[in-house]
Each structure stands twice: as structure tokens, then as C-alpha cells.
Amino acid sequence: MTIIGYARVSTTDQHLDLQENALRAAGCDLIRSEKRSGTTTAGREELRTVLDFLRAGDVLMVTRIDRLARSIGDLQDIVRTVRARGASLKATEQPIDTSTAAGKCFLDMLGVFAEFETNLRKERQLEGIADAKARGVYQGRKASIDAAKVKALKAEGMGASAIAKTLKIGRASVYRALED
């Protein structure tokens, strides 16, 4: 039986030290970490490596469930993968152990709260942006595409695909620039 730790933070200015120390103290034989958003499993190579490595009897250890996933769908997919490999999931700071019925129940409840927290954060962010726009303070980010270049290339007879390739942008961006 191997205890494999997984640590994750969302941004590059956050630190993994506390999670890694807690996982070491919990007896993890191996710890994988990454700095990626937990709102999706896409692009989380360390998580994929851990899930691929799990064998029957192994334990995937995290400090908290929200370090594993911020969406109940992703969390359930991860748990299904762990179970399919004959392994279990445990958390150092929460009473989660998927080898027990109570642990499975608590896991699902925490997953719902992690997703709820993410949704609340998004709502607050959108409210803040709407308020800033209403006060005329929010301008959005600066355009990364030079619409004048797009229009000039179009005027030269170049098609949308060729413009996109030349400027290394998406075709949809070309069409948006041409609409303005």
C-alpha cells in the first residue's frame, strides 16, 4: 500500500509548503504538487499522473477536498477513478475516507460546498464588475488584437483564415475585429 499525496494551489503567488508538510506528516510516501485552478481537471498533469499511478490498496491523500476539485462533477469523476483502481481517498483536515460509508457521504457534502463557494466567488466578482462599470471605473482589459491591422489585411484582399494565421489569432477574433 502506497500513500500518495496531492497538493494544489490556484495561483503562482500561493505556496504549497503547508500542504506538502501536512501530507508528509500524514505519512505520504510520495507527494505530487501543482499550481493550477481547481475549477477543472483539464491541464492538471500532476493529478493525472497520480490517478494513473494508483494501484489497489493505495491511498490518495489531500489536505482538503477543495484542493482536489472545485466542481462536484470533477470530484465525482476523480473519486470514481480512485475507486476503479481499488484505491481510497483520504483528507488530513477533514473526516474523509472513501473506504467507509460515512466518509463517502461527507465527501459528497464537502464537494457540494466547494462548488458552492466557487459559484459565490464568481457571483461576487460579476457584481463587483457590474458596479465598477456603472460607476464608469471598469474599462475591461486592453484589446490584444490590433483591429486596424485586421482591417488593413482584409482590405488587401486577404481572407479571414489567412489573416488569423498571419496575426496568430483565432478566426472568430478576426470576425469580431471586422464587425467593429
Which active-site residues does the annotation give?
10
Q: What is the spatial distance between Cα 73 and Cα 111, in angstroms, rounded to a whole number? A: 9
* CA 58/CA 99 separation, integer angstroms: 11
Dig out the grid coordinates for 175 from the structure. Answer: 470576425
**Calpha distance 134→142 (Å, rounded):** 19
Sequence letter at residue 88: S
C-alpha to C-alpha distance for 122 and 116, rounded to whole angstroms: 10
